[in-house]
A and B are shown apart, each in its own frame.
Chain A
Amino acid sequence: MNNPLENTWQSVMDQLKTWARINSPWAIHFNSGSCNGCDIEILATLTPRYDMERFGVKLQGSPRHADILICTGPVTRQARERLIRIYEQMPEPKFVVAVGSCALTGGAFQGCYNVMGGIDQVIPVDAYIPGCPPRPEAIIDGLVKLLGSLKADGALEQASEPPLVASVLEPSS
């Protein structure tokens, strides 16, 4: 039998946790075999000109401190085990953002002998950012959409959202 005051306290704590997680999503970046074009655009997004850090995104060195895995590259066979290991080291709740057309479907390397063909062949992906490479505005759009969807329906507790696709051509809501 639940004390109504206990329920209020629980929901307040949940909202507080959600608020804290949405407002400071720490990120780790991983390159699973890309040409580095998308990595350069991600680094540009973190610089003061495009400034991803105003959303609270901080680039971390260790997956154990990160909420978001920003991943580029078609997953090469050698990178596959490393990517899975990094994904498993991240504590829940965690989200994966696939940046660039190689990370979405394998891009120019789809069907090659050494490539798995996109990050969602290996780990579950929450947001897709197309482009070759995507502009920093598109990367920000994708991240903001991911964070917005978490806010919308408390999906931090169960991450079963359909994936989001960012586009610079769409007006941001």
Chain B
Amino acid sequence: MTIEAATPLLTTWATDTAQPEPGRLDAVVPRENLLAAVQSLVDARWGYLAAITGLDQGVEAGMFEVLYHFCSEAAVVTLRVPVPRDDARVPSVYAIIPSVSFYERELMEMFGIEVEGTPNSDRLFLPDDWPAGVYPLRKDFEMKDAGADHAG
């Protein structure tokens, strides 16, 4: 399926779309519309969810972005969900796509974004003795927060 097939599915839910490269579509989807947007892509069987990544736009910008990458052959559709830094939560798409559990666990432990409704919120990659409340992939992460014995 192509980008042209995906665009009409998302126009209802996205506030902004862009094509940074041929074959890629970036759609900015507000948090409230995320589940509906994912549901419309899944109902139309447009590709598969390849990854969920987090993006920290910096402390001054005060925003995170959660990116949901859907791939269909060579075409990639990315749903960008802006999340304010002081209200970092996003709904879980587990009910639509059960395999997102690992991605959402990684998002929670690396950025501290609360994914609401995901069944398992255990740590995935970080070691068991990693201090709670320290999120390594945030831009304001400091190595000294990670523990005294950490040479780095």
A interface with B by C-beta (< 8 Å): 76-78, 106, 110-117, 121
Most buried by B among A77, A106, A113, A121: A113
Besides the known contacts A77-B130, A110-B152, A112-B152, 19 further A-B residue pairs in the complex with CB atoms under 8 A apart: A77-B127, A77-B129, A106-B152, A111-B143, A113-B136, A113-B141, A113-B143, A113-B150, A113-B152, A114-B125, A114-B126, A114-B127, A115-B152, A116-B150, A116-B151, A116-B152, A117-B151, A117-B152, A121-B151
B124 contacts A by Cβ under 8 Å:
no
Interface pairs (28), CB distance under 8 Å: A76-B127, A77-B127, A77-B129, A77-B130, A77-B150, A78-B127, A106-B152, A110-B152, A111-B143, A111-B152, A112-B152, A113-B136, A113-B141, A113-B143, A113-B146, A113-B150, A113-B152, A114-B125, A114-B126, A114-B127, A114-B136, A115-B152, A116-B150, A116-B151, A116-B152, A117-B151, A117-B152, A121-B151
Pair count A-B, CB < 8 A: 28
> Which B residues touch A76, using CB under 8 A?
127
- Chain B interface bracket (under 10, 10 to 19, 20 to 34, 35 or more): 10 to 19
Q: Nearest-CB distance from B137 to chain A (Å)?
A: 8
Which partner residue on chain B sits nearest A78 by CB separation?
B127
> Which A residues touch B127, using CB under 8 A?
76-78, 114
Q: In residues 114-152 of chain B, which contact A (Cβ within 8 Å)?
A: 125-127, 129-130, 136, 141, 143, 146, 150-152
> Which A residues touch B146, using CB under 8 A?
113
